[in-house]
Structure 1
Amino acid sequence: MSKAPIGKTIRRLRMEQGYTQQGFAQKLGISTSYLNLVEHDQRNVTASLLFKLTDILKVDLAALSGVQEREYEVLLREAFSDPSLSIEPVPDSELQALAAAPNAARAVLALHRALAGAREESSGITLPSGRKILLPNEEVRDFFHAHENHFPSLEVAAEQISAKLDAAGVGTSHALAERLRREHGLVVRVGALPGALRIYDATTRMLSLSEDLPRESRGFQMAFQLALLEAREAVEEIVERAEPTSRDAAELLRIGLLNYIAGAVLMPYEATLSAARERRYDVEALTARFGVSYEQACHRLSTLQRPGARGVPFFFLRADPAGNVSKRFSAAGFPFMRYGGTCPRWIVHSAFATPGQIRVQLAQLSDKETFLCFARAITGRPARWGEPPPVHVVAMGCDVSHAPEVVYSDGLNLATASVGIGLSCRMCDRQDCRSRAFPPIAHRLKLDPGRTSASPYSFETHPAPKR
């Protein structure tokens, strides 16, 4: 995968905002021919022109980085590598051109998802009840991703709630419980709650929290309940605009937005950004300051994308030992795969071996794009004796250019410490990987009985011919 040139990003933003090439060139104070060369990446963008672009297009420098185009390029490459299509590998130049046309790219990806869904239905993948398996979670993930996991109206709602809690002059958990009691006549009870962690009974005005919940999780559940009671209108406005395709997708989106507000109540934006910069994004230090869990702090750091007051753009990932991804956000532009596993060399997988310990890796993709990644395995409480405890890895990362701002880069030689990883084995062209599980789809295997290679699969470097 190659980086998307900035010219295509400028052209996309110009067209999205309704500027003609001639009118836009006049606003920039350059000729139409020069702008045409810039948009076709035949001229470099000077610093002064870059600042004019951000001012006229009302975007920050990050928006001109080509992150969206790179993400589309990854997803399109994955779609076109689907073996069922039986097509020749699509050249990088064609992928980049399609990725720079967001409407067309989304249409192609929607068609591929429809094809995948049709294959599942034709294969009879159904629940025992006969109900078809749907994936509303993917729809909701795409929605959060499209908004860079940041919602200004929800930040405002959370700040209004936080201001009322601060006025109470008491600790957050106690303030949450008191506000629920005084303003809403709701009693919070902590005790045994078989099969559930939280139950709200609107009839009796009782909020029951499981005694199995850690203290910071109880605070989060109370903040969620307060968001449900005081910020429902702000949530419903977003859900209505999103136009979910199913009831399940709508409910998942609604819960996700309420979770967003709860996290913002516990970690107000300005206070969190200030503390994060002060402690150089030391997650454990932030958990102590705000009284939240490690995962809650990581999740909140991934939302600090307010224009004019942005934090380090992080990606956020939560995965289980089987490689299933249950949460995924990418303000950092990390190219997550939609289907299939991730690279076994990535720190997300090795972190399971050291629960509670933060592990750090400088991960370099095949196009030399490099990310500072840190991951920690978190073990929960089993529901009962004899059951395995739930284990997840929470991972975060940012572009290496932001590494000096993050405490986890300390002690790393940023010039030499990188570890090569791929998006997935089927999409990775690395020849010398001993961890490879599958050969790359786009290349023909190179089989030689007289030679055993270090890598489980040897393959030719040029693409496989059309079948």
Structure 2
Amino acid sequence: MSNKLYAGVALRETRQKFDLTQKEFAQRLGVSLPYLNQMENNHRPIASSVILALAQNFGFDVTQLRQGGAERSLADMKEALADPVFAELSPPMADLQLMATNAPTLTRAFLELHRNYKQTQERLASLDEALGRQETGIVQSPWEEVRDFFHYCDNYIDAVDKAAESYAAKADILDGDGRKAAADWLMARHGVSVSYDHDTQLRRFDPDQNILFLNQHVGAETQLFQIIHQTALIEHDDLLEMTLDTARFQSDAARAICKIGLANYFAGAAVMPYAKFLQAAQEHRHDLEHLGHLFGASVEQVAHRLSTLQRPGLKGIPFFFVRVDQAGTITKRHSSTRMQFARFGGACPLWNVHRAFETPGQFLRQLAETPDGVRYLCLAREVSKPGGSFHAPTRRYAIGLGCEVKHAASLVYADDLAPRKDSAFEPIGISCRICERENCHQRSVPPLERKLDIDMQARGVVPYRLG
């Protein structure tokens, strides 16, 4: 695999930020004008001397020079172009890579257009239910819109993260009884008292009485999380609103959902402050249960937090994180790795996250290889969320966390595995509709971009061969 780094967009943006011509910029970087032009257009990889000059002369954060964003967009474009509507078009991979790298804004626009198209198709499929309504225009799914916002922010919101880190230090929630400290802060700063009752809701705030009601049956870590969530809504409303302004959501519903998501992000970042959490994760080799005990957080909260450690200049291991329900539907997803989850449909059935429901409370480990040849260490665990009484339903999910196998030595879960043994890796994909594996025994549908060869006189695992 090539280690060459192309960064044309970053070079152009830096030059435009300082209002320099190409000639002036080339002189500052110590390269010729034609060479700069080639680098800005990604005809040549960026040289190490240029990276050093960027850091010294322009204060450029070299950790931003990574291919994660382009790879994420490339995976999303590949999935979108597998749609039958593009059956007559088959752009070469080189063209897709060029578009994702050189024109990220145009790529995002294309993906948003395709998403709107898919949602319009879904509306047409249920037209019989909408015949009596006078709706016009395309109504984008607010949930998907918000999920993509966090997805393309690398699941890291710098201003919110740092504000939460500052709050955690001032409120002193890490030492002793964090729940009491958070409640005391809310009362002292905003006159809001916390009351624990039998309410079926996790959190209910009464602004008239200035009382935050919490379900007394849920765990202490959940109660702490909800107290800080409410603190974020009250104390950092301006910050949340400014962040929402940058997202430019298409509906009020999407904006409201995202505000909840940002308050949740603040709570998670406060319970597990970035610098302290990263240091503890490295010291304890990313042991989720141990980190949960240290920070008073659930396993799911710890796993999700690990996937957000993408602060420029202080990054952790790039993880993917996903949560699925018992039907296999992805309810949360994020990846800082090259592995990108399908935006439509479920996850690969060969992935260990689906088997987690069979072994409640236990971690499953899997060495897996995707069709592009990249290998991963994957963790999966079932998580239950009881309702607090006999008649209350229990919500069950499975969470998945993983990283490229080159980071395996930094995880306690890699002990006694054999990451150097080829036969130890199980083949997995993204989803059947875009997976090109020929002989998968769990294939549910053929890949959309492949022709089918049907032999009436023979039958294999599936009743067709891929042409």
TM-score normalised by L of structure 1:
0.88
450-459 vs 291-300, which moves further = 450-459
Equivalent residue, structure 2, for 1:112: 114
Q: Match for 2:403: what amino acid?
A: C
Aligned-partner Cα distance in 1 for 2:142–2:448 = 28
Conserved in 2, the CA contact under 8 Å of 1:4 and 1:96? no
Equivalent residue, structure 2, for 1:186: 192
Q: Match for 1:360: what amino acid?
A: R
Equivalent residue, structure 2, for 1:282: 287
Equivalent residue, structure 2, for 1:433: 440
Aligned-partner Cα distance in 2 for 1:280–1:177 = 32
CA 1:391–1:167: 2 relative to 1, 3 Å: closer
Q: Match for 2:147: what amino acid?
A: R
CA 1:45–1:235: 2 relative to 1, 3 Å: closer
CA 1:124–1:348: 2 relative to 1, 3 Å: same
Aligned-partner Cα distance in 2 for 1:333–1:129 = 45
CA 1:34–1:313: 2 relative to 1, 3 Å: same
Conserved in 1, the CA contact under 8 Å of 2:325 and 2:396? yes
Deviation at 1:264, TM superposition (A): 1.6
**Mapping of residues 115-130 of structure 1, within 5 Å:** 115-124=117-126
61-70 vs 198-207, which moves further = 61-70
Conserved in 1, the CA contact under 8 Å of 2:191 and 2:210? yes
305-314 vs 382-391, which moves further = 382-391
Aligned-partner Cα distance in 2 for 1:128–1:377 = 42
Q: How many residues align?
A: 456
Deviation at 1:318, TM superposition (A): 1.3
Aligned-partner Cα distance in 1 for 2:392–2:464 = 38
CA 1:262–1:41: 2 relative to 1, 3 Å: closer
Deviation at 1:382, TM superposition (A): 4.3
Q: Match for 1:17: what amino acid?
A: T
Deviation at 1:332, TM superposition (A): 2.6
**Aligned with 1:443: secondary structure?**
coil
Q: Which one of 216, 241, 250 corresponds to residue 246 of structure 2?
A: 241
Q: Which one of 159, 167, 171 corresponds to residue 177 of structure 2?
A: 171
Conserved in 1, the CA contact under 8 Å of 2:183 and 2:194? yes
Conserved in 2, the CA contact under 8 Å of 1:357 and 1:376? yes
Q: Match for 2:430: what amino acid?
A: L
Equivalent residue, structure 1, for 2:78: 77
**Aligned with 1:398: secondary structure?**
strand
Q: Which one of 307, 316, 320 corresponds to residue 325 of structure 2?
A: 320
**Aligned with 1:438: secondary structure?**
coil
* Aligned CA-pair RMSD: 2.9
Aligned-partner Cα distance in 1 for 2:126–2:71 = 35
45-54 vs 429-438, which moves further = 45-54
Q: Which one of 429, 438, 442 corresponds to residue 422 of structure 1?
A: 429
**Aligned with 2:433: secondary structure?**
helix
Q: Which one of 5, 12, 17 corresponds to residue 14 of structure 2?
A: 17
Equivalent residue, structure 2, for 1:412: 417
1:266 aligns with 2:271: yes
Q: Which one of 357, 361, 365 corresponds to residue 360 of structure 1?
A: 365
**Aligned with 1:437: secondary structure?**
coil
361-370 vs 253-262, which moves further = 361-370
Q: Which one of 448, 452, 458 corresponds to residue 451 of structure 1?
A: 458
**Aligned with 1:372: secondary structure?**
strand
1:300 aligns with 2:300: no
Q: Match for 1:314: what amino acid?
A: F
Aligned-partner Cα distance in 2 for 1:238–1:137 = 17
CA 1:430–1:22: 2 relative to 1, 3 Å: farther
Q: Match for 1:425: what amino acid?
A: C
Equivalent residue, structure 2, for 1:463: none
CA 1:205–1:86: 2 relative to 1, 3 Å: same
Q: Match for 1:444: what amino acid?
A: K
Conserved in 2, the CA contact under 8 Å of 1:365 and 1:422? yes
TM-score normalised by L of structure 2:
0.88
1:203 aligns with 2:198: no
Aligned-partner Cα distance in 1 for 2:173–2:110 = 52
Deviation at 1:129, TM superposition (A): 9.3
- Listed one character per residue, the Cα deviations across residues 422-463 of structure 1 (whole Å, up to 9, x for unaligned) are 121111111121111111112222223443324564212xxx
- Listed one character per residue, the Cα deviations across residues 351-389 of structure 1 (whole Å, up to 9, x for unaligned) are 222121111222222111222221211012147646752
Q: Which runs of 5+ in 1 are unaligned?
A: 461-467
Aligned-partner Cα distance in 1 for 2:93–2:300 = 37
**Aligned with 1:13: secondary structure?**
helix
Aligned-partner Cα distance in 2 for 1:146–1:86 = 27
Aligned-partner Cα distance in 1 for 2:174–2:116 = 52
Deviation at 1:229, TM superposition (A): 2.2
Q: Match for 2:237: what amino acid?
A: R
Conserved in 1, the CA contact under 8 Å of 2:323 and 2:398? yes
Deviation at 1:299, TM superposition (A): 1.6
Deviation at 1:248, TM superposition (A): 0.6
Equivalent residue, structure 1, for 2:381: 376
Aligned-partner Cα distance in 1 for 2:370–2:327 = 23
Aligned-partner Cα distance in 2 for 1:57–1:364 = 40
**Mapping of residues 246-261 of structure 1, within 5 Å:** 246-261=251-266
Deviation at 1:67, TM superposition (A): 1.5
Query: Percent of aligned positions with the same letter in both sequences?
Result: 37
- Listed one character per residue, the Cα deviations across residues 230-284 of structure 1 (whole Å, up to 9, x for unaligned) are 2222212211222221111111111111111111221112211111111011111
Q: Match for 1:142: what amino acid?
A: D
Conserved in 2, the CA contact under 8 Å of 1:173 and 1:219? yes
CA 1:56–1:242: 2 relative to 1, 3 Å: farther
Conserved in 1, the CA contact under 8 Å of 2:140 and 2:250? no
159-168 vs 243-252, which moves further = 159-168
219-228 vs 402-411, which moves further = 402-411
